[in-house]
Structure 1
Amino acid sequence: MVAHVGLISLTSCFSPLSRLPRLSSTKHKPFAMAAMNEDPVRQWILSEGKATKITNISSIGGGCINLANRYDTDAGSFFVKTNRSIGPSMFEGEALGLGAMYETGSIRVPKPFKVGPLPTGGSYIIMEFIEFGPSRGNQSVLGRKLAEMHKAGKSEKGFGFDVNNTIGSTPQMNTWSSDWSQFYGEHRLVYQLKLALDQYGDSTIYEKGQRLVKSMGPLFDNVVIEPCLLHGDLWSGNISSHKNGEPVILDPACYYGHNEAEFGMSWCAGFGGAFYNAYFEVMPKQPGFEKRRDLYILYHYLNHYNLFGSGYRSSAMSIIDDYLRMLNA
């Protein structure tokens, strides 16, 4: 999502991904009193991070949600995001998503190392620092690598994710479902429609959106839908490249879903013909792709409406109205 800035991230670190399950092991453990006045980020870097000294800490900006810093040490560099008002659950969701994408062995993502609470409130995440190059990389390579991730990242549990996470700062519900249309209708569109109703009293978009959800079944006729691991928030701010030109994606809102849903942020992702050609060589385009594309864009327009106000309402309403006409609903 646009405000969820892809914070300038991240040169390789040392902790293996086998550490990842421990990200949530201290989820609800309070800090010992002796540690209350200590910095847990510094503690981790100087112990499990294998560093003996931190040589520099520099701010590398942040979005409207988190702050970001680069920690340079004698054992390499780390990327640290902090949030002073939100507990660890948001970063735990991000870490699990990054770990799942990393494990596909496809596209480059920063490896997550540690998530925890800050003693003064809020939370942090420590991850690999990747030295970015001057551009977002080759579109063809990005398309191919993303398709390889979708092809490799499968779930036997169905559609959803092991934890709920966030899309920007909006909660994203990932309760498992065996039915994609039901999952997308209930946990993506209806959830956002209810937010619009609660926040703005927008009964028009709520009622029309509900009609669309109840009528959208034919859009999935003759389509084979497998649960693919999705980044979930793939816009230009969350796409970069390593200094060697290798594509990098970050700041995910991961879940297992229809691969086409990955293009829901395409209106501000800058994907061109070379990207799609390379993608569909690995993951062939299915019948009706063009008719479904706006359905996936709708989720993100609704989210922007709920986060940033009425400037996005007309775009969301236009998509809903077009589908209601198309489906005679």
Structure 2
Amino acid sequence: MVVPLSHAAALLSFSSSSTSPPPLPRLRFSFTKHKPLAMASMSEDPVREWILSEGKATQITGIRPIGGGCINRASRYDSDAGSFFVKTNRSIGPSMFEGEALGLNAMYETGSIRVPKAFKVGPLPTGGSYIIMEYIEFGGSRADQSALGRKLAEMHKAGKSRKGFGFDVDNTIGSTPQINTWTSDWIEFYGVHRLGYQLKLAREQYGDSLIYERGQRLVKNMGPLFEDAVIEPCLLHGDLWSGNISSDKNGEPVILDPACYYGHNEAEFGMSWCAGFGGSFYNAYFEVMPKQGGFEKRRDLYMLYHYLNHYNLFGSGYRSSAMSIIDDYLRMLNA
């Protein structure tokens, strides 16, 4: 399955997300209340204000656009204190970027794989919002697969939660709200807040009762797929496809544009159908995080969430892949 061409623009800059669809009808971004990372005052240009104060700069030497997806605009701000990467959105308030910032900094704090550190989130005086983060100079090649697998596993091993499965705020996967209500049971979390939520969107948006009903049968009967797994709440990037993976100028892997939450580590591979993970990636990963029994039979279940999301965002071209996975599991489980 080929990701829409709009995804390709994300590769060379910190784009809005893995997806670039129009907003879903009848949906509003609804976020868990949480203390903002750092909210800016409503100055004429709060980005410049922050760089010239808390950013330690005395002058800004250049501002240039560097692309972005259909959701956000991206710019590089150069100053005598270094460069900063800035994303802006003219219609959505700071909550979306707050979720991104919390995810970036949660990954950053594990001290494992490289991610851009988020510095500031705030509202724009004319409406919308912005996020200021570390500017990373990308290298000329993709991340080494072995290094990527090892570093990602180190992040999963280091980033654990005592609250269960979920995250401190709801965030987005593309422009789709992603519900992260803390839940003690992984099968319940994945069934309700991942597969169940996407199935409801498909029914509401397309009137697709068939995929909803079959998908719900799978959710109710998928327990045996996890019988051989020991599931811990690991910090996940949540949207790991090729456009969100790069390397810095030293060749070290970099991941960006997350949809973070704490979940089963195997769920991280749900976008593997457009991530390009090879044997060296998985070999290095499983050296740090050993493969669990039943891994192969759960792989498509984790892909299903992302196929459903692409169906909801981009339309019927992704429906057959999602339905095929559902039907295969219903036969496997005799459900």
| Cα offset, 1:147, TM superposition | 0.1
Q: What's the counterpart of residue 233 of structure 2? A: 227
Contact 2:110-2:158 within 8 A present in 1 as well? yes
Secondary structure of the 2:182 match is coil
Show structure 1 runs of 4+ deviating over 6 A: none
Q: Partners in 1 of 2:11 and 2:214 — Cα distance?
A: 33
Q: Partners in 1 of 2:223 and 2:166 — Cα distance?
A: 19
Q: What's the counterpart of residue 8 of structure 1? A: 13
1:325 aligns to 2:331 (yes or no):
yes
Secondary structure of the 2:131 match is strand
| Cα offset, 1:24, TM superposition | 3.5
Residues 1:254 and 1:112: Cα distance change in structure 2 (over 3 Å): same
Secondary structure of the 1:121 match is coil
1:315 aligns to 2:321 (yes or no):
yes
Counterpart of 1:109, as a letter, is V
Q: What's the counterpart of residue 282 of structure 1? A: 288
Q: What's the counterpart of residue 215 of structure 2? A: 209
1:153 aligns to 2:159 (yes or no):
yes
Provide the TM-score with structure 1 as the length reference: 0.92
| Cα offset, 1:53, TM superposition | 0.6
| Deviation string, structure 1 residues 18-56 (Cα, Å, up to 9, x no partner) | xxx974353xx873xxx3xx1111111111000111101
Residues 1:254 and 1:6: Cα distance change in structure 2 (over 3 Å): farther
Secondary structure of the 1:114 match is strand
Provide the TM-score with structure 2 as the length reference: 0.90
Q: What's the counterpart of residue 24 of structure 1? A: 37
Q: Identity of aligned pairs, percent?
A: 83
Equivalent residues in 2 for 1:102-113, closer than 5 Å:
102-113=108-119
Q: Partners in 2 of 1:123 and 1:71 — Cα distance?
A: 16
| Cα offset, 1:247, TM superposition | 0.3
Residues 1:288 and 1:276: Cα distance change in structure 2 (over 3 Å): same
Q: What's the counterpart of residue 28 of structure 2? A: none
Counterpart of 1:24, as a letter, is L
Equivalent residues in 2 for 1:166-185, closer than 5 Å:
166-185=172-191
Q: Partners in 1 of 2:269 and 2:226 — Cα distance?
A: 16
Secondary structure of the 2:66 match is strand
Equivalent residues in 2 for 1:15-164, closer than 5 Å:
23-24=36-37, 26=39, 31=42, 35=43, 38-164=44-170
Contact 1:7-1:63 within 8 A present in 2 as well? no
Unaligned runs of 5+ in 1: 11-20
Q: Partners in 2 of 1:25 and 1:83 — Cα distance?
A: 17
* Aligned residue pairs, count: 312
Secondary structure of the 1:311 match is helix
| Cα offset, 1:8, TM superposition | 1.3
| Deviation string, structure 1 residues 176-224 (Cα, Å, up to 9, x no partner) | 0110000000000000000000000000000000000000000000210
Contact 1:23-1:114 within 8 A present in 2 as well? no
Unaligned runs of 5+ in 2: 16-33
1:272 aligns to 2:278 (yes or no):
yes
CA RMSD of aligned residues (A): 1.6
Q: What's the counterpart of residue 291 of structure 1? A: 297
Counterpart of 1:260, as a letter, is E
Secondary structure of the 1:72 match is strand
